[in-house]
Structure 1
Amino acid sequence: MTPTHSGVTTAQRATAVAARATDLSKVYGQGETQVVALDAVSVDFHQAQFTAIMGPSGSGKSTLMHCMAGLDSISGGSARIGDTELTGLKDKKLTQLRRDKIGFIFQAFNLLPTLNALENITLPMDIAGRKPDRAWLDRVVETVGLSGRLKHRPSQLSGGQQQRVAVARALASRPEIIFADEPTGNLDSRSGAEVLGFLRNSVRELGQTVVMVTHDPVAASYANRVVFLADGRIVDDMPDPTADLVLERMKGFDAKRRTS
């Protein structure tokens, strides 16, 4: 069993819940234009686990992540990060929660071009007035393979290296959970595999918790578990996924849609 930065073993953390949705609903619009994006979704995301969220286009996967991360309001039910209920949090408290407890990785790297890699990694902590833990930061940089690139600006880095900077930035503040939205969407297959490997290693070696939205069965195969959504509802939960198993499940969604 691997000890994490908190001194708790990864096995112990894996039984705890990092984030939880209970009967979570999200509705856009009203009347005839109303769209139910999430329909009473209940799901737990466990600590020290890599979870992928998949589903057909319009299934609600990105909406679920945005609601769980406090980036979008919810229409009904409950969303929690650790012991904190997101519903009803004032903007200031919500901003503080996202800053202190959540890491984000997006398809766009969102790096500042005038800062070097290290400055981009520590930027959120610099803004918050917090000093990074040097030992932890060094471990994160080593985990994502950036030791020789810290003084390079984004324009001097490849797309894969820029996304590694984004991964390190998300990990550096030791968030309780990282949400990744199509993190390999702008990368070639080799760079994408490297970034996914780093995310998986952050779970295995650093005890991190990662929830990733993806449409790619190969990307999903790096996760410990895949949660499938269709029409705003959870329809399957697959442990120990492989790319072939995920692809077969996704083909099943397509076949069902064509016949319905």
Structure 2
Amino acid sequence: MTATTIAPSAVVARNVSKIYGSGDAEVPALREVDVAFARGAFTAIMGPSGSGKSTLMHCLAGLDTVTSGSVTLGDSEITSLGDRALTLLRRERVGFVFQSFNLLPTLTAEQNILLPLRLAGRDPDRSWFDHVVGIVGLADRLGHLPSQLSGGQQQRVACARALVSRPDVIFADEPTGNLDSRSGAEVLAFLRTSVRELGQTIVMVTHDPVAASYADRVIFLRDGRFVAEHRDPTPESVLDVLKRLDAR
């Protein structure tokens, strides 16, 4: 099954398969997946445990290699890049938000946000930094260490860190998995705002129908295959799709 999008695509998987192991120990994680992710949109990836959703995200982000097929980010086919070029592409054109916040405990919120730019030897655009910090609501927390911030605030620092370099795509892997429902809703609302007000492209892996309902579109995997998509989701409509897939 092939997914299509009307808007230009930020990242595209073409006939992507991923196999772990070999011989009798061979495990297919992805099977000929064709899917495109629209630029300036918020897309969620869902599916049962073992469906391949995290593997797909890792392949799209250049964190894992594909066994066959291709992944294109913008005008770059990343599956043909060497390690050095791939490292530079991830640093300059991709942002990441993970379930664990991955903040350095000895750095302030501001220092954590600016860390990717410092590592890349780039000077921050202060007006953009101020804009991102304002949207994420951290202007009065920039001098605080991670230990002085709530879980939701720490994840918002991680989101701002992903945004500050203006990446082509932000990949978010269960970004609310370690948060309570209120903090999770704040982070998801911020991600949605970054799409609608900043034009950011976000691809999020989640198992939570409520989290998925913040997206513009949800794609569903099962047994490593792309099996369905759903636009303008609500928690109830996402659950309905999951139930139909389970009944097949």
Answering whether residue 175 of structure 2 is matched by residue 177 of structure 1, we say no
Answering whether residue 241 of structure 2 is matched by residue 242 of structure 1, we say no
- In structure 2, stretches of 5+ residues that fail to align are 1-5
Q: 2:55 aligns with which of 55, 58, 63?
A: 63
Per-residue CA deviations over 1:17-46 (Å, capped at 9, x if unaligned) read: 100000011000111111110000011101
Q: How does 1:23-62 map to 2 (within 5 A)?
A: 23-62=15-54
**Identity in percent:** 65
Structure 2 equivalent of residue 160 of structure 1: 152
Query: Which residue identity is paired with 1:124?
Result: P
Query: Which residue identity is paired with 2:223?
Result: D
**Conserved in 2, the CA contact under 8 Å of 1:104 and 1:178?**
yes
Counterpart-to-counterpart distance in 2, 1:106 and 1:69: 13
Counterpart-to-counterpart distance in 2, 1:80 and 1:43: 11
In the TM superposition, structure 1's runs of 4+ consecutive aligned residues that sit over 6 Å from their partners are: none
Say which SS state the counterpart of residue 103 (structure 1) adopts: strand
Counterpart-to-counterpart distance in 1, 2:216 and 2:130: 26
Query: Which residue identity is paired with 2:181?
Result: S
Structure 1 equivalent of residue 3 of structure 2: none
Give the drift of 1:52: 0.2
Give the drift of 1:150: 0.3
Q: How many residues align?
A: 243
Q: 1:128 aligns with which of 120, 127, 130?
A: 120
Q: 1:88 aligns with which of 74, 80, 85?
A: 80
Counterpart-to-counterpart distance in 2, 1:69 and 1:130: 22
Give the drift of 1:253: 3.0
Counterpart-to-counterpart distance in 2, 1:60 and 1:194: 27
RMSD: 0.9
Give the drift of 1:250: 1.5
Q: How does 1:179-218 map to 2 (within 5 A)?
A: 179-218=171-210
Normalized against structure 2, the TM-score is what? 0.96
Normalized against structure 1, the TM-score is what? 0.92
Q: 1:110 aligns with which of 99, 102, 106?
A: 102
Q: How does 1:248-259 map to 2 (within 5 A)?
A: 248-256=240-248
**Conserved in 2, the CA contact under 8 Å of 1:144 and 1:164?**
yes
Per-residue CA deviations over 1:170-192 (Å, capped at 9, x if unaligned) read: 00000000000000000000000
